[in-house]
Structure 1
């Protein structure tokens, strides 16, 4: 069975976006880029919410994206995407499947098919919705050493406490810390 992991960014004070909704505060360096590129070796499907999808669709298909990071642009553009959306049904950035309702069931079905892992990139509120369903096997949270003071909390909307078991910690030279957890659902 395939595994599903969610990869989220957060500030040290727990925000995935600043007060303006931006993630421009997140620092990127070569070590982070290497980590990002390596994710493409292990996945063959990307899941995201509509807002994240629109943000990524505005960047990854561009010549600037291919120039800045051809490896990530390659897998972001080529891999199938599953997007949770009640308003979108098609988009030229493909291959893309839009799911209005029942995303957890859709992803659960994908897990049973042969293939590599499935990644949920960004989409913090979607991750908060999916975590309690048991469809996400691993939560990867990279903490940037910046305090924002306000913004959108990571995992905003999570319904109740959800116990997690830490499975790994990785420190990056620029101060990032990647925390990896497995949900411990009853």
Structure 2
């Protein structure tokens, strides 16, 4: 079965975006770029929420480089209740995904293919976390304190135990933490 991987850039406090929605605080270096490319090469599908899709579709179809080329060629699903069409430049590979999110993601996980990745799209990550449909969390902690912002995880019932699979420190000071669901107990308590 295909895995769903949530790949998220975070501040030290766990914010995924600054209070005004700014993302200019991300730190990048060559090793982090290589790490991101390796993840992108391991998947065949990207899942975006509507807001993240609108930001990404305005940039990546016209960007240069290997990351842009790979992003543009992959199948994309846009979780939306409002968009009927999801164009992606000259590519015909972005589809709206509506209906019950958990049911749709379970269906996609059962299809043949490589793993799927979610970039940004905090509400989708929270929803799929609640439904235990994320198999791996790749959290890239940036060396910055934002003070205020949008947290990745909101409140949900119960606990989900994670196991640290990998930790990688980048020259920029960022740290990539890869967590998987603990085999001993997926969910200890449901409310």
Q: TM-score scaled by structure 2?
A: 0.88
Alpha-carbon distance, 1:28 to partner: 1.4
| SS, match of residue 61 in structure 1 | helix
Alpha-carbon distance, 1:40 to partner: 2.3
RMSD: 1.4
Instruction: Name the CA distance, whole Å, in 1 between partners of 2:180 and 2:44.
Output: 21
Unaligned runs of 5+ in 2: none
Q: Deviations over 1:13-35 (max 9, x none)?
A: 22111111111111112111111
Instruction: Name the CA distance, whole Å, in 2 between partners of 1:9 and 1:169.
Output: 14
Instruction: Name the CA distance, whole Å, in 1 between partners of 2:160 and 2:84.
Output: 32
Whether 1:52 aligns to 2:52 is yes
1:71-90 matches, cutoff 5 A: 71-90=66-85
- Provide the residue aligned with 1:163 in structure 2: 161
Q: Deviations over 1:94-136 (max 9, x none)?
A: 4122122222222211222221111111112210110121221
Alpha-carbon distance, 1:77 to partner: 1.2
Instruction: Name the CA distance, whole Å, in 1 between partners of 2:136 and 2:118.
Output: 10
Aligned residues: 180
Unaligned runs of 5+ in 1: none
1:110-129 matches, cutoff 5 A: 110-129=108-127
- Provide the residue aligned with 2:139 in structure 1: 141
Instruction: Name the CA distance, whole Å, in 1 between partners of 2:72 and 2:119.
Output: 14
Instruction: Name the CA distance, whole Å, in 1 between partners of 2:25 and 2:156.
Output: 27
Alpha-carbon distance, 1:158 to partner: 4.0
Contact 1:43–1:116 (Cα < 8 Å) also in 2: yes
| SS, match of residue 40 in structure 1 | helix
| Deviating more after overlay: 159-168 vs 43-52 | 159-168
Q: Deviations over 1:143-173 (max 9, x none)?
A: 0010011111122x34234332222211111
| Deviating more after overlay: 92-101 vs 21-30 | 92-101
Contact 1:18–1:152 (Cα < 8 Å) also in 2: yes
| Deviating more after overlay: 22-31 vs 161-170 | 161-170
1:2-151 matches, cutoff 5 A: 2-62=2-62, 65-66=63-64, 70-93=65-88, 94-151=92-149
